[in-house]
Structure 1
Amino acid sequence: MNLEECRKEIDRLDKELTNLLEQRMQVVAKVAAYKKANHMEIFDPRRERQVLDKIAAMAQYKELAPYLQKIYQCIMDESKNYEREYMKL
């Protein structure tokens, strides 16, 4: 596969990832609504640890697990930011 083909494949995957992340953020809004209605904290360290551990376990290529965990940490950080904004509404 040449560089241009690789980039096309990355573009295709980015489109899929964007769609999935948008869906994830829509669920995050539902989580925020639930937490707001039930006076719950946004940050749940135990849940975050579970997610990161699950991501590492799901990784097909174990050498990629630490990178995937870092990506998911960023996703969760932005999800918390979105929850904060959503809860202000």
Structure 2
Amino acid sequence: MNLEDYRNEIDRIDGELLSLLEERMRAVSGIVQIKKEAGLAILDKDREKAVFEKLEKQLGDSDFKDSILRTFEDILKQSRQYQEAKLEN
């Protein structure tokens, strides 16, 4: 493969990631509504710990571990910020 082939592959993958991230945020929207009604806190440290433990077990290539886990840290941070904004409304 050449540079353009790899870039095209990345563009295709980015499209899939975008779709999956939108799907994930729709699920977050449902969760924030439940938390709002139940008076639950946004941050659930036990849940986040379990998420990262599961991700580490599922990770296929340990060479990417740090980068991928940092990406998921950002995803969870953005999810919390979205929930906080929704709770303010």
Partner of 1:52: 52
> Which piece of structure 1 moves more, 36-45 or 59-68?
59-68
Q: Counterparts of 2:66 and 2:10 in 1: how far apart (Å)? A: 20
Partner of 1:40: 40
Give the ranges of 4+ consecutive aligned residues of structure 1 lying more than 2 Å apart after TM superposition: none
Q: Counterparts of 1:5 and 1:73 in 2: how far apart (Å)? A: 30
Q: Kindly, what percent of the aligned residue pairs are identical?
A: 33
Check the 8 A contact 1:59/1:65 in 2, yes or no.
yes
Which residues of structure 2 form unaligned runs of 5+?
none
| Letter in structure 2 aligned against 1:54 | K
Q: TM-score scaled by structure 2?
A: 0.95
Q: Counterparts of 2:22 and 2:88 in 1: how far apart (Å)? A: 20
1:34 is displaced (CA, Å) by: 0.5
Q: What is the Cα-based RMSD across aligned positions, in Å?
A: 0.8
- Trace 1:4-83 onto structure 2 (pairs within 5 A): 4-83=4-83
Cα deviation, 1:29-65, whole Å, max 9, x if unaligned, reads 1110000000000001111111111111101112222
Number of aligned pairs?
89
1:85 is displaced (CA, Å) by: 1.1
